[in-house]
Structure 1
Amino acid sequence: MEDDDDFFDTVSVNSAHGKRRYLSLSRNTVYHSLMDLDGGNDLEMASLDQNKVPHKRWRNFSSSDLSVDFVLAYDDQGEQEDVDKRVMFEHNLESTGLLLEREENQRIHFVKIHVPKDVTMRFAEILKLRLPIKDEEQCPLKDNIITKTAVKILTRFNVMLDPEKFPVKKYQLTAEFNKDKNYLFDVDDPDFFNTSVKITVVSYILEREKFGKEDQDKGIKRLIAENVYKAAYPLHDGDLHDRTSQRKLLLDEWASVSKFIKYQPLDEVKEYFGVKFALYFAWLGFYTHMLIPASIVGILCLIYGAATLSSDSLSRDICAAANITMCPRCDKFCDYWNLQESCTYAKVQHVIDNPATIFFAVFMSFWGTLYLELWKRYSAEIAHRWGLTGFDLQAEPPRPEYLLKLANAKKKKLNVVTQLQEPVVPFWRVKLPSLILSFSIAFFWTLIALSVVTGVVVYRMSIVTSDFLHSDNTSYRIYVVPITAGLINLTCIVILNFVYGKLAQWLTEMELQRTQTEFDESLAIKIYMFQFVNYYSSIFYIAFIKGKFVGYPAKYNKIFGYRQEECNPGGCLMELTMQLAIIMIGNQAVNNVMETLIPLCLKMYKTFIVTTGIEKTKTDEVTLISCNQWTEDYKLTEAESSLFSEYLEMVLQYGFITIFVTAFPLAPLLALINNVLEMRLDAKKFIKYYRRPVPQRVKNIGVWYSILAFIGRLSVASNAFIIAFSSHFIPKLVYKLKISGDHTENGFLEHSLAYFNTSHFPAGSEPAHPAFKRFCL
């Protein structure tokens, strides 16, 4: 028989279904009122509305003032086996020293976790955490005249952070924490172990604690995968409306687009999100600042091209060529056409392809090298300031999945940093076969991406051959093929990205990477390899292959029976620019929409679920009372700890503005505008729509720096080849120096064309209904 409380709760809910919200609030109020009688809760009786609950109580135990450092959430409708796993898991957590408090007055139950000081000290030593040592008297550094002048200028332009909101933090020496050397650390300070340290300790324990009798029955990740728990997350330090919280401060002063001109509060970001997140935003901010000079030079190149348009003999001659008839672009269905039709094309091409473009290509080659060197210097400064200079990857604990799969490994070795025995992956029997299989599948998908590009090329050739484009004589039809092909290619890119992303995750799991950093870097290499082909192959085709092996009238080189694509008389550079613009702008637009809308929609959906009770059983109330931080954060989306998608998006963008910048001088400016928004929107996304991530220690941006260096070296050769093979710079230079009598470009158009007698066309390839006769060029 049900007890009285359960009986009346059930009767109330069933008899007043439409008043679910108020019933839930009343149930929660009774719960708190009983605690008030015992003196365990200082909430006022009038606190029926969540906005009246003091924010300082949102993150504490109900029975005491202990802070909630981590939360586990689960549904009480699970099987008995799930209950047994939870009981054992939570018992082991308490045996480790963690303090737990359970809140079971709703269907979604919460387990609140607090890590005591002695447990924090014990695991801080195990994790080799570097913590600040006691302050000593230090001589203040005196600013020189250059530093004072720079600060004065930046302050005048309102770039510096408000020192009242973000006080300047002095540098503190750090050392690996050791309980035997407590005298070095101010452990008596209640704030010495900050929230980030406590979250790191609890996360480490959760990932390694057992929930069953078998050796592989361990870790919170597996429990979540088996739906024993629905979520495990640290808490944000306050509500978005709590002006005393660091979260609200960062939202207003850092994540706001209106603050785009100000520096980022990186020290505060590091304290709140951890080193890995702070280093990403530091890199993104540095990269965005470096785009400013590149954008200015790119704009000047376009201005120069527009200013010298009237003096360009090639575009002028094309626009005046009213009597020059060109050979058909395809067999049978295509007619002869007038060269003057490509007048607009030639003018736009000159704006992009002019002598200033050569200077821009050289400038960007030096810019890429300078950017990487300056970032290396800046990141070393940050690592020193944050006490990461001596951080060794061997100090990073092994992944729980790694230890689980090697639980029965016979061979072990001593980790010289942690002085612990760790299992060794058998190279010939396990490591090598998994690597071969992983990269073989990755290579196969790379071939699929290439086949998509081949399909787009065939589409281009077939659409040119068809009579679809030739139903009218308007000049804009020459833009239809590149624009539609670019859109098709972009669609294929998005689809393949989604599929391969899931596959690459599974392949990397097979490789048995020891640490999370090694896992993330292996995943990054595989996906970037695929994305490189997926995004850039069509652009490489236009830049270096299209129009180079066409042949000549009466002896065209054909593929699948179709004539190869030809470049416009003005060259392929304009088409290359359109392809770059479509893919770069389209990709950034899709990413920004997805990154902004998906978290927002997920939050709205979860809020709808937990506030309306739409996900319910026949006998239980589902509505969650949002008068605490753990319930509010439960509605949010799990944050991606690796930041993989954020890095990948920016690195792909970096490739667009360096490898192909000769064809698209506006690329740095578009990247600058995108990144100014991206930086603030990413910050807003992580603060408002994602749960607080577990802090991770990293020394630098890892494998992404090596990828950036590879792109930098490739861009030098790529831009040189684009100038040589896709622009008119070299042909014009040869004409002026060796052929032209007056050493000018006058007559270059006539020199680049050749006459062809149309009677020499093979049977069946000549235009079926020609409008012109006899000769073409």
Structure 2
Amino acid sequence: MLQEHDLNDSEFDLLEGVKSLFRSIVECIFFDSNIFRREDSKLMAVYSRDKDYLFDVNCEGFFTASVRSTVIDFILERKRFSDDDTDTFAFGIQRLINEKTYTAAYPLHDGTMKTEGSMRNMLAKDWASMKRWAHYQPLDQIRDYFGEKFGIYFAWLGFYTNMLILPSIVGILCFVYGCATMLNNQLSEDICDKTNNITMCPLCDRKCDYWKLSDTCLYARITYLFDNPTTVFFAIFMSFWAALFLEMWKRYSAGIVHRWGLTGFSAQAEHPRPEYQARLTNAKIRKMNVVTHVMEPYVSFWKVRVPATILSFSVVLLLITVAVGAVFAVVLYRMCVVSSLHLFGDTNDALFIPATAGLLNLVCIMILNWWKVRAAEVYDKLAVYMTELELLRTQTEFDDSLTLKIYLFQFVNYYTSIFYIAFLKGQYVGYPKKYNKIFNLRQEECNPGGCLMELCMQLAIIMIGKQALNTALEMINPLIWKWFNTFTTKTGLVQPKEENRSTDEVNEVHSTQWAHDFKLLEWGPRGLFYEYLELVLQYGFVTIFVAAFPLAPFFALLNNVFEMRLDAKKFLKFYRRPVPRRVRDIGVWFHILEILGKIAGMIIAFTSNFIPKMVYALSVSEDKSLEGFLDHSLSYFNTSDFPPDVAPQNPAYDVEICR
């Protein structure tokens, strides 16, 4: 009994030791609970003055700073400033700002970045610092400082970043496997074997000569790195990961929503937009809101919203056509370069054309994006105007509709060229006797090793290049504009000179918190839209096209680690404090993520050679191997059947059969 008791004690001590070790490892990634105390879950309800007796209003901090800012903004947005009843839209602080009556209106930051003991200072040191890149985020304090909308954004960004760790590891292992077995691939070895003496048909009309398949040896070997047996496994893995990610996010966000007292917050409980109420001032039909018990104007779905929605998305389709036209121009460029390179005798275009086309497409994407967002904000204002015509009741519904319009354009802008390579290139080329031409130009053909390598290059250039440019611009632009605002404020270019004040009074004014915040950048009308947009576009690259670029999750993880802290620093240091907004989820972005997740993995069936290889091994090969697959996949063509305008003009040697 004594020995058994001692054994149990030793087992217990060992278990406690393992727990203690694990606890000490995990504690290093948690934020300091003495600085950021975690809020306990508690029952909450929306405050109502009619039921004031149910709330402990005398409790210190009952109305937080973010709640007070929200209440003040609510009043300022709806307060009329004119006695003229015919001026329906004579209300709101934003119109007074547009008319230059006021310069700006914003909540104040909690001190400066260096004010010891302030929440801004604590967040800057223990959250917005790159030294804390591996730490959890103090979400409760972020929510108290910026509001629920920002809290939900950073919660989603942190969750998404953590979920990328596993696919990053699996993607690296798949890439390492491809490197380790690259020299053992039967298909690439057959392509590189010069003794096979396989002569291929010309890649362009008249100017191009016959060429040897062994010339693409390097391309075939590199392709194997991204098109090997693990590619299929990884594509399937990412499909399941995408579904698991969304389900786990719903569970995780439900806990946050409950803890923050947002469970009862819905579209019906949200107040109508002041613009909505102004447009429907003279509405004849009114109905009672079952939640707020307030009579509100009623908008006909079929007579008003359906026609307005059709008009809105018709304009969006027009802009999408412009983006598709830009990608089509890049495709024509690739066709022309094929002919011109062969005209000058250059046959090493297997890597040159995809690389230059990818860079050109990235430039087109950035130009289109700049045109849409920056150039006089034409599209932004047009999108807002079209969404206003839909007469959406709440700000959440308005933001979701506007988000969908702009995202559709961005989706086409970024993904069209990649979809072309993945699903269209090489599918409708025709055959040597009758090629399907566009503007009298031959369509591009995939390399005998497949289009996956080219797709990988296009994806890497656009994804990594876009992330690098956005990260640089996100930090450089606010810094430049902050310096500019500081310069104009100190020189008096944007405010009246203090002629009737003494020097001490002027210095006192400039030392106030509102004067410090005035030098910062103001939030645009879209808020966090472009932050979500960048990450959702990245999510599409990671899920839909991951089979072509297994390292995409790793680069996404690397980007998001920096993105999280740089966004935090940007919001705290360079921007005025935003007006807190109540939301209970990430809005329409969740439905966009669901759609992207459902089409993930589709690329493997169209671009990879995995399925043809499996069919050959199981149905054709006698020994169930891939030996002879290359010869099986190439058809024969008698050169005497070439039309006069297609056959090589000056062939280097006589060829009876090309492949």
The TM-score with structure 1 as length reference comes to 0.77
**Larger RCO (alpha carbons 8 Å, 6+ apart):** 2
Mapped pair 1:670 → 2:555: yes
The answer for the alignment partner of 1:660 in structure 2 is: 545
The answer for the alignment partner of 2:515 in structure 1 is: 631
Mapped pair 1:691 → 2:592: no
Change (3 A) 1:415 1:363: same
Question: In the TM superposition, what is the alpha-carbon distance from 1:350 to its structure 2 partner?
Answer: 0.6
The answer for the alignment partner of 2:252 in structure 1 is: 378
Aligned with 1:196 (options 54, 63, 66): 66
C-alpha distance in 2 between matches for 1:437 and 1:689: 38
Aligned with 1:480 (options 332, 352, 373): 352
Mapped pair 1:250 → 2:123: yes
The answer for the alignment partner of 1:358 in structure 2 is: 232
The answer for the alignment partner of 1:607 in structure 2 is: 486
The answer for the alignment partner of 2:168 in structure 1 is: 295
Mapped pair 1:572 → 2:451: yes
Change (3 A) 1:212 1:368: same
What amino acid maps onto 2:39 in structure 1?
A: K
C-alpha distance in 1 between matches for 2:400 and 2:16: 38
Aligned residues of 1:353 and 1:663 also touching (Cα < 8 A): yes
Q: SS in structure 2 opposite 1:176?
A: coil
Counting matched residue pairs gives: 627
C-alpha distance in 2 between matches for 1:687 and 1:619: 29
The answer for the alignment partner of 1:451 in structure 2 is: 325
Question: In the TM superposition, what is the alpha-carbon distance from 1:429 to its structure 2 partner?
Answer: 4.3
The answer for the alignment partner of 1:170 in structure 2 is: 40
Aligned residues of 1:659 and 1:711 also touching (Cα < 8 A): yes
Q: SS in structure 2 opposite 1:422?
A: strand
The answer for the alignment partner of 1:92 in structure 2 is: none
Mapped pair 1:218 → 2:91: yes
What amino acid maps onto 1:513 in structure 2?
A: L
What amino acid maps onto 1:211 in structure 2?
A: F
Question: In the TM superposition, what is the alpha-carbon distance from 1:565 to its structure 2 partner?
Answer: 0.5
The answer for the alignment partner of 2:184 in structure 1 is: 311
The answer for the alignment partner of 2:618 in structure 1 is: 737
Question: In the TM superposition, what is the alpha-carbon distance from 1:725 to its structure 2 partner?
Answer: 2.7
The answer for the alignment partner of 2:25 in structure 1 is: 156
Question: In the TM superposition, what is the alpha-carbon distance from 1:502 to its structure 2 partner?
Answer: 4.4
Aligned with 2:78 (options 198, 204, 208): 208
Q: SS in structure 2 opposite 1:661?
A: coil
Question: In the TM superposition, what is the alpha-carbon distance from 1:509 to its structure 2 partner?
Answer: 2.2
The answer for the alignment partner of 1:541 in structure 2 is: 420
C-alpha distance in 2 between matches for 1:479 and 1:536: 21
Map of 1:39-50 to 2, 5 A cutoff?
A: none
Map of 1:36-115 to 2, 5 A cutoff?
A: none
Question: In the TM superposition, what is the alpha-carbon distance from 1:760 to its structure 2 partner?
Answer: 2.7
Question: In the TM superposition, what is the alpha-carbon distance from 1:773 to its structure 2 partner?
Answer: 2.3
C-alpha distance in 2 between matches for 1:742 and 1:774: 33
Map of 1:416-427 to 2, 5 A cutoff?
A: 416-427=290-301
The answer for the alignment partner of 1:343 in structure 2 is: 217
The answer for the alignment partner of 1:20 in structure 2 is: none
Question: In the TM superposition, what is the alpha-carbon distance from 1:361 to its structure 2 partner?
Answer: 1.2
What amino acid maps onto 1:339 in structure 2?
A: L
Aligned residues of 1:154 and 1:160 also touching (Cα < 8 A): no
Question: In the TM superposition, what is the alpha-carbon distance from 1:180 to its structure 2 partner?
Answer: 5.1
C-alpha distance in 1 between matches for 2:589 and 2:343: 48
Question: In the TM superposition, what is the alpha-carbon distance from 1:547 to its structure 2 partner?
Answer: 0.7
C-alpha distance in 2 between matches for 1:261 and 1:773: 65
Q: How big is the alpha-carbon RMSD for the aligned residues of Structure 1 and Structure 2?
A: 2.4
C-alpha distance in 2 between matches for 1:148 and 1:189: 43
Q: SS in structure 2 opposite 1:395?
A: coil
Change (3 A) 1:621 1:614: farther
Question: In the TM superposition, what is the alpha-carbon distance from 1:680 to its structure 2 partner?
Answer: 0.8
The answer for the alignment partner of 1:33 in structure 2 is: none
Change (3 A) 1:149 1:709: farther
The answer for the alignment partner of 2:536 in structure 1 is: 651
The answer for the alignment partner of 1:493 in structure 2 is: 365
C-alpha distance in 2 between matches for 1:621 and 1:304: 76
C-alpha distance in 2 between matches for 1:736 and 1:597: 55
Change (3 A) 1:149 1:219: farther
Aligned residues of 1:520 and 1:642 also touching (Cα < 8 A): no
Bigger Cα Rg: 1
Aligned with 1:750 (options 608, 631, 645): 631
C-alpha distance in 2 between matches for 1:147 and 1:556: 73
Change (3 A) 1:527 1:471: same
For 1:386-442, what per-residue CA distance to the aligned partner results, in whole angstroms no more than 9, with x for missing partners? 111111221211111111222222222211111112222244543332212111111
C-alpha distance in 1 between matches for 2:538 and 2:147: 25
C-alpha distance in 1 between matches for 2:153 and 2:410: 20
Unaligned 5+ runs, structure 1:
1-144
The answer for the alignment partner of 1:47 in structure 2 is: none
Question: In the TM superposition, what is the alpha-carbon distance from 1:463 to its structure 2 partner?
Answer: 1.9
Change (3 A) 1:442 1:616: closer
Question: In the TM superposition, what is the alpha-carbon distance from 1:470 to its structure 2 partner?
Answer: 4.6
What amino acid maps onto 2:93 in structure 1?
A: I
Question: In the TM superposition, what is the alpha-carbon distance from 1:692 to its structure 2 partner?
Answer: 0.6
Question: In the TM superposition, what is the alpha-carbon distance from 1:297 to its structure 2 partner?
Answer: 0.8
The TM-score with structure 2 as length reference comes to 0.90
Aligned with 2:55 (options 149, 166, 185): 185
Question: In the TM superposition, what is the alpha-carbon distance from 1:530 to its structure 2 partner?
Answer: 2.0
C-alpha distance in 2 between matches for 1:174 and 1:618: 49
Mapped pair 1:589 → 2:468: yes
What amino acid maps onto 1:290 in structure 2?
A: M
Aligned residues of 1:196 and 1:272 also touching (Cα < 8 A): yes
Aligned residues of 1:486 and 1:579 also touching (Cα < 8 A): yes
What amino acid maps onto 1:456 in structure 2?
A: V
Change (3 A) 1:251 1:398: same
Question: In the TM superposition, what is the alpha-carbon distance from 1:146 to its structure 2 partner?
Answer: 11
What amino acid maps onto 1:638 in structure 2?
A: E
Question: In the TM superposition, what is the alpha-carbon distance from 1:153 to its structure 2 partner?
Answer: 2.5
The answer for the alignment partner of 1:260 in structure 2 is: 133
What amino acid maps onto 1:647 in structure 2?
A: Y
The answer for the alignment partner of 2:4 in structure 1 is: none
C-alpha distance in 2 between matches for 1:658 and 1:146: 40
Mapped pair 1:760 → 2:644: no
Aligned residues of 1:554 and 1:760 also touching (Cα < 8 A): yes
What amino acid maps onto 1:655 in structure 2?
A: G
Unaligned 5+ runs, structure 2:
1-13, 373-378
Question: In the TM superposition, what is the alpha-carbon distance from 1:217 to its structure 2 partner?
Answer: 0.8
C-alpha distance in 2 between matches for 1:619 and 1:190: 39
